[in-house]
Amino acid sequence: MLLLTCPHCHVTAEETEFAPGGQAHLKRPQPEAGDDAFESYMFTRPNPMGVHLERWRHAYGCGKWLIAARCTVTLEVFGTYPAQTAAPPAEIVKKIKKKRPEWEAPA
Amino acid sequence: MKRYSVFAIVREALRQHRGWEPAWASPEPRDRYDVVIVGAGGHGLATAYYLGKNFGITNVAVLDKGWLGGGNTGRNTTIIRSNYLQDPSAAIYEKSRALYETLSQELNMNIMFSPRGVMMLAQTEHEKRGYLRTERANALQGVETRFIPPEEVKKLVPIINIDGPRYPVLGALWQARAGTARHDAVAWGYARACSAMGMHVIQNCAVTGVEAVGGKVTGVQTTRGAIGCNRLGLVVAGHSGHLANMAGFRLPIESVALQALVSEPIKPCMDVVVMANTVHGYMSQSDKGEMVIGGGADGYNNYTQRGSWHHIEETVRALCETFPVISRLKMLRHWGGIVDMTGDRSPIISRTPLEGCFINAGWGTGGFKSIPGSGWAMAELMARGESSLAAGFGLERFREGRFVDESVAAGVAH
């Protein structure tokens, strides 16, 4: 079972207290961007075997959204940060890179 | 290939079983094949088998990174049914169910297909209305299903509690010709038949790269050297995204863990398959007497082939209420498999942006039941370039908004 720390209320709890919300940092294209851009935004996913930045909601806690950096192969959680963040913060990137030097933050 | 028969058993019994031969050959890979299929699970092997049987293409290699049928083919709960809502799904799953009926004879391998009947319980008014709709859709599609009242559910499954306080049984969608089969035997049977046609089934051979020249596939790099091919089929379930990355395209797929567990064996007490989608649990009794229980999928991306305790608890808690008789059973084994989920919960059987490369993926939680139909359609697509069974399941449907929306149709489990 995953243990996640909520960056809002600082509670560390089991995954049952959180609700998963899919890949994070998806950027909605402009209305005129075209079908390809919208297909990519709505459906196409890198689905990495490795570090995944994903949204969770502290559903049975403070109710706020957060983003977790988690490895999909080892289930290691590198850290969490508030969902109101456009890109992973430098300290999280540093933590991930320390263990996975080849990892690149998604554009 | 020596045929399996009652005479073979007698013959071998008389000579201390020294005459059995390996069911399939384990050859060294050649440099080049007409067709390379990546993934020797049920779907990959069925694709190869129907390429040979229906189209006479036998210069085929089926590669697997591990052992044959060691992925989801050996990890599912063996349910076979075809009571889907949408026309393209009903067509391919019904084709599949029909092929299963005679598969033992066709492959000369007892796959133990048991058409014991599958019932999907309606435990909310919403679900009841949904199944009534599916019943009518199935009637139009030529799939034989019937919505049955609670009394008939109780008659078919005496151990069920139809008056559950939280989720009473309001009826069920009953497909009498659905059932179960021995999952390993399906992979073994197809592998044996492929091998007998001269195809190469190559185990412990992981694909590490896809070779292409000018947008056309030319072969694959593997842990056992480079293998050239004219056409490439990717049939790797949970690892489809990974393989697609090698081939240079992305898929509308995310991989999650789905889990199942079995109890200690008990005397026969339930001779149908029961699925309770509202409470996320389904159960059948295996020939060994174990209660085979399937649960829900994780909500997050996962490649670990492990389950999690809270899902076991959730599933078993729900089933204990529906089947009070199992409340003191001990659970023996528990496992997880990686399933590839698409946005509309329907599969992808399609050409890809890379010419000569085809993909069969996205079966999500419904892979086992579809093995023969999926192989049939994929073989037709690879041999002829088009297939009526696969037509609704192209990759382009996401871009065009033509979903085969089974996530709404089936509620939860597939």
**For residue B300, which amino acid is it?**
Y
Residue B411 binned pLDDT confidence (cut-offs 50, 70, 90) = very low
Superfamily of domain A3-27+37-99: Folate-binding superfamily (3.30.2270.10)
Can you list the residues of chain A whose pLDDT is less than 50? Answer: none
What per-residue confidence (pLDDT) applies to B326? 92
User: Average pLDDT in the B173-192 region?
Assistant: 96
Question: What count of other Cβ atoms lies within 10 Å of the Cβ of residue A16?
Answer: 16
Residues of chain B with Cβ-Cβ distance to A59 below 8 Å are none
What per-residue confidence (pLDDT) applies to B297? 81
What per-residue confidence (pLDDT) applies to B413? 46
Write the CA distances from B407 to B280, B341, B347, B350, B413, integer angstroms: 14, 10, 12, 20, 9
ipTM for the predicted complex comes to 0.91
> Does the predicted TM-score (pTM) go above 0.80?
yes
- Contacts for B252 with CB less than 8 Å, ≥ 6 apart: A39, A43, A44, A45, B342, B343, B348, B362, B395, B398
Residue B364 binned pLDDT confidence (cut-offs 50, 70, 90) = confident
Distance, CA of B89 to chain centre: 14
What per-residue confidence (pLDDT) applies to B138? 96
| Gap between the Cα atoms of B79 and B181, Å rounded | 7
Q: Which two tokens stand for residue B148?
A: 């049955």
Residues of chain B with Cβ-Cβ distance to A45 below 8 Å are 241, 250-254
* pLDDT tens per residue across span B123-167: 999 999 999 999 999 999 999 999 999 999 999 999 999 998 888
Question: What count of other Cβ atoms lies within 10 Å of the Cβ of residue B77?
Answer: 24
Domains along the sequence of chain B with CATH: 31-109+182-252+345-410 (3.50.50.60), 118-179+255-342 (3.30.9.10)
Contact status, residue B363 vs residue B374, Cβ threshold 8 Å? yes
Residues of chain A with Cβ-Cβ distance to B301 below 8 Å are 23, 47-48, 52, 54, 72
CB contact under 8 A, A1 and B308: yes
What per-residue confidence (pLDDT) applies to B408? 57
Residue B409 binned pLDDT confidence (cut-offs 50, 70, 90) = low
Chain B residue with Cα closest to A18: B299
- List residues of chain A with CB under 8 Å from any CB of chain B: 1, 14-16, 19-20, 22-23, 35-36, 39-40, 42-49, 52, 54, 70, 72-75
Residues of chain B with Cβ-Cβ distance to A34 below 8 Å are none
Contact status, residue A73 vs residue A85, Cβ threshold 8 Å? no
| Gap between the Cα atoms of B303 and B254, Å rounded | 10
* pLDDT tens per residue across span B50-94: 999 999 999 999 999 999 988 899 999 999 999 999 999 999 999
Looking at residue B238, what DSSP letter applies? G
User: Average pLDDT in the B386-393 region?
Assistant: 95
Q: Is B414's pLDDT higher than 50? A: no
Q: Which of B155, B169, B186 is nearest to B76 (CA)?
A: B186
CB contact under 8 A, A45 and B308: no
User: Average pLDDT in the B236-260 region?
Assistant: 91
User: Under DSSP, is residue B171 helix (H, G, I), strand (E, B) or coil?
Assistant: strand
Query: Residue A98 belongs to what H/E stretch?
Result: helix A90-99
CB contact under 8 A, B399 and A39: yes
Phi-psi region of B92 (alpha: psi -120 to 50; beta: other; left: phi over 0): alpha
* Mean pLDDT computed over every residue of chain B: 93
User: Under DSSP, is residue B276 helix (H, G, I), strand (E, B) or coil?
Assistant: strand
